Amino acid sequence: MPEFLNPAEAEFWVGVGLLIFLGIVVFVAKAPKAIAAALDARTVAIQTDLDEAARIRAEAEALLATLKAERAEAEAQAKEMLSAAQEQARLFAQDAEAKLKESLARRQQLAERKIANAEAQAQADVKAAAAELAAKMAEDVLAKRLAGAKTDPQVDAAISQISTRLQ
Protein backbone atom coordinates (compact mmCIF):
# COMPACT_ATOMS: atom_id res chain seq x y z
CA MET A 1 0.00 0.00 0.00
CA PRO A 2 1.38 3.36 -0.81
CA GLU A 3 2.28 5.54 2.06
CA PHE A 4 -0.03 8.35 1.25
CA LEU A 5 -2.99 6.00 1.79
CA ASN A 6 -1.87 5.12 5.27
CA PRO A 7 -3.93 6.97 7.90
CA ALA A 8 -0.94 7.18 10.16
CA GLU A 9 0.87 9.38 7.69
CA ALA A 10 0.31 13.15 7.51
CA GLU A 11 0.09 13.09 3.73
CA PHE A 12 -3.04 10.98 4.06
CA TRP A 13 -4.72 13.63 6.16
CA VAL A 14 -3.56 16.38 3.85
CA GLY A 15 -5.14 14.44 0.96
CA VAL A 16 -8.34 13.91 2.92
CA GLY A 17 -8.44 17.61 3.81
CA LEU A 18 -7.79 18.50 0.19
CA LEU A 19 -10.63 16.25 -0.94
CA ILE A 20 -12.95 17.73 1.68
CA PHE A 21 -11.90 21.21 0.64
CA LEU A 22 -12.48 20.41 -3.04
CA GLY A 23 -15.84 18.83 -2.14
CA ILE A 24 -16.80 21.94 -0.24
CA VAL A 25 -15.67 24.14 -3.12
CA VAL A 26 -17.66 22.06 -5.60
CA PHE A 27 -20.66 21.91 -3.25
CA VAL A 28 -20.42 25.59 -2.48
CA ALA A 29 -20.06 26.43 -6.13
CA LYS A 30 -23.04 24.25 -7.16
CA ALA A 31 -25.22 24.72 -4.09
CA PRO A 32 -25.75 28.48 -4.41
CA LYS A 33 -26.60 27.99 -8.06
CA ALA A 34 -29.08 25.28 -7.17
CA ILE A 35 -30.46 27.34 -4.30
CA ALA A 36 -30.60 30.41 -6.55
CA ALA A 37 -32.29 28.36 -9.27
CA ALA A 38 -34.83 27.02 -6.73
CA LEU A 39 -35.41 30.50 -5.35
CA ASP A 40 -35.72 31.90 -8.88
CA ALA A 41 -38.25 29.20 -9.74
CA ARG A 42 -40.14 29.95 -6.55
CA THR A 43 -39.94 33.68 -7.33
CA VAL A 44 -41.29 33.05 -10.82
CA ALA A 45 -44.11 30.90 -9.39
CA ILE A 46 -44.93 33.57 -6.80
CA GLN A 47 -44.77 36.31 -9.44
CA THR A 48 -47.05 34.25 -11.70
CA ASP A 49 -49.48 33.79 -8.82
CA LEU A 50 -49.33 37.54 -8.06
CA ASP A 51 -49.90 38.39 -11.73
CA GLU A 52 -52.85 35.97 -11.85
CA ALA A 53 -54.24 37.46 -8.65
CA ALA A 54 -53.85 40.98 -10.06
CA ARG A 55 -55.56 39.92 -13.29
CA ILE A 56 -58.41 38.29 -11.36
CA ARG A 57 -58.71 41.36 -9.15
CA ALA A 58 -58.83 43.63 -12.21
CA GLU A 59 -61.53 41.40 -13.73
CA ALA A 60 -63.47 41.47 -10.46
CA GLU A 61 -63.20 45.25 -10.25
CA ALA A 62 -64.32 45.58 -13.88
CA LEU A 63 -67.22 43.21 -13.19
CA LEU A 64 -68.10 45.16 -10.04
CA ALA A 65 -68.02 48.44 -11.98
CA THR A 66 -70.21 46.88 -14.69
CA LEU A 67 -72.66 45.59 -12.09
CA LYS A 68 -72.75 48.99 -10.37
CA ALA A 69 -73.42 50.68 -13.72
CA GLU A 70 -76.14 48.15 -14.52
CA ARG A 71 -77.66 48.66 -11.08
CA ALA A 72 -77.62 52.43 -11.51
CA GLU A 73 -79.17 52.03 -14.96
CA ALA A 74 -81.83 49.67 -13.57
CA GLU A 75 -82.60 52.12 -10.75
CA ALA A 76 -82.86 54.96 -13.26
CA GLN A 77 -85.18 52.86 -15.44
CA ALA A 78 -87.25 51.94 -12.38
CA LYS A 79 -87.55 55.61 -11.40
CA GLU A 80 -88.46 56.51 -14.97
CA MET A 81 -91.07 53.74 -15.12
CA LEU A 82 -92.46 54.81 -11.75
CA SER A 83 -92.73 58.44 -12.82
CA ALA A 84 -94.33 57.40 -16.13
CA ALA A 85 -96.81 55.21 -14.25
CA GLN A 86 -97.62 58.06 -11.87
CA GLU A 87 -98.09 60.43 -14.79
CA GLN A 88 -100.30 57.89 -16.56
CA ALA A 89 -102.33 57.37 -13.38
CA ARG A 90 -102.71 61.13 -13.03
CA LEU A 91 -103.89 61.37 -16.66
CA PHE A 92 -106.33 58.50 -16.12
CA ALA A 93 -107.67 60.23 -13.01
CA GLN A 94 -108.08 63.50 -14.90
CA ASP A 95 -109.78 61.68 -17.78
CA ALA A 96 -112.10 59.83 -15.40
CA GLU A 97 -112.91 63.08 -13.60
CA ALA A 98 -113.65 64.84 -16.91
CA LYS A 99 -115.86 61.95 -18.05
CA LEU A 100 -117.67 61.97 -14.70
CA LYS A 101 -118.25 65.72 -14.93
CA GLU A 102 -119.46 65.33 -18.51
CA SER A 103 -121.81 62.51 -17.52
CA LEU A 104 -123.15 64.50 -14.59
CA ALA A 105 -123.66 67.53 -16.84
CA ARG A 106 -125.54 65.38 -19.38
CA ARG A 107 -127.71 63.87 -16.66
CA GLN A 108 -128.39 67.32 -15.23
CA GLN A 109 -129.35 68.62 -18.68
CA LEU A 110 -131.59 65.60 -19.21
CA ALA A 111 -133.23 66.15 -15.84
CA GLU A 112 -133.67 69.86 -16.60
CA ARG A 113 -135.23 68.98 -19.98
CA LYS A 114 -137.58 66.53 -18.32
CA ILE A 115 -138.53 69.15 -15.73
CA ALA A 116 -139.04 71.77 -18.45
CA ASN A 117 -141.17 69.31 -20.47
CA ALA A 118 -143.18 68.45 -17.36
CA GLU A 119 -143.65 72.16 -16.61
CA ALA A 120 -144.72 72.84 -20.19
CA GLN A 121 -147.11 69.88 -20.10
CA ALA A 122 -148.50 71.04 -16.75
CA GLN A 123 -148.95 74.56 -18.09
CA ALA A 124 -150.67 73.22 -21.18
CA ASP A 125 -152.90 70.99 -19.03
CA VAL A 126 -153.75 73.91 -16.75
CA LYS A 127 -154.49 76.16 -19.74
CA ALA A 128 -156.65 73.49 -21.34
CA ALA A 129 -158.49 72.85 -18.07
CA ALA A 130 -158.93 76.60 -17.53
CA ALA A 131 -160.19 77.05 -21.10
CA GLU A 132 -162.57 74.14 -20.75
CA LEU A 133 -163.83 75.42 -17.42
CA ALA A 134 -164.24 78.96 -18.83
CA ALA A 135 -166.11 77.61 -21.82
CA LYS A 136 -168.36 75.54 -19.59
CA MET A 137 -169.02 78.46 -17.30
CA ALA A 138 -169.73 80.75 -20.25
CA GLU A 139 -172.05 78.15 -21.68
CA ASP A 140 -173.86 77.83 -18.33
CA VAL A 141 -174.14 81.62 -17.99
CA LEU A 142 -175.40 82.01 -21.53
CA ALA A 143 -177.74 79.08 -21.15
CA LYS A 144 -179.29 80.69 -18.07
CA ARG A 145 -179.66 84.06 -19.83
CA LEU A 146 -181.11 82.60 -22.89
CA ALA A 147 -183.36 80.21 -21.09
CA GLY A 148 -186.17 82.54 -21.87
CA ALA A 149 -185.07 83.19 -25.40
CA LYS A 150 -185.00 80.32 -27.76
CA THR A 151 -181.99 81.20 -29.87
CA ASP A 152 -179.92 84.23 -30.37
CA PRO A 153 -177.77 84.11 -33.47
CA GLN A 154 -175.11 86.40 -31.99
CA VAL A 155 -174.80 84.29 -28.84
CA ASP A 156 -174.53 81.10 -30.90
CA ALA A 157 -171.77 82.69 -33.00
CA ALA A 158 -169.94 83.92 -29.86
CA ILE A 159 -170.14 80.45 -28.25
CA SER A 160 -168.72 78.78 -31.32
CA GLN A 161 -165.93 81.40 -31.46
CA ILE A 162 -165.09 80.94 -27.76
CA SER A 163 -164.52 77.25 -28.16
CA THR A 164 -162.24 77.75 -31.16
CA ARG A 165 -160.33 80.61 -29.58
CA LEU A 166 -159.66 78.82 -26.33
CA GLN A 167 -158.09 75.81 -27.93
Total H helices, total E strands in the chain? 2, 0
Residue-by-residue pLDDT tens, the chain, 167 positions:
567 677 788 888 888 999 999 888 877 778 778 888 889 999 999 999 999 999 999 999 999 999 999 999 999 999 999 999 999 999 999 999 999 999 999 999 999 999 999 999 999 989 888 888 888 888 887 777 766 666 667 767 777 777 677 66
Residues written for the chain: 167
CB 166 within 8 A of CB 131: yes
Distance CA 78, CA 70 (A): 12
Residues 17/18/20/22 CA torsion (nearest 10 deg): 160
CA 148 to chain centre: 98
Domain range summary for the chain, segments of one domain joined by +: 3-166
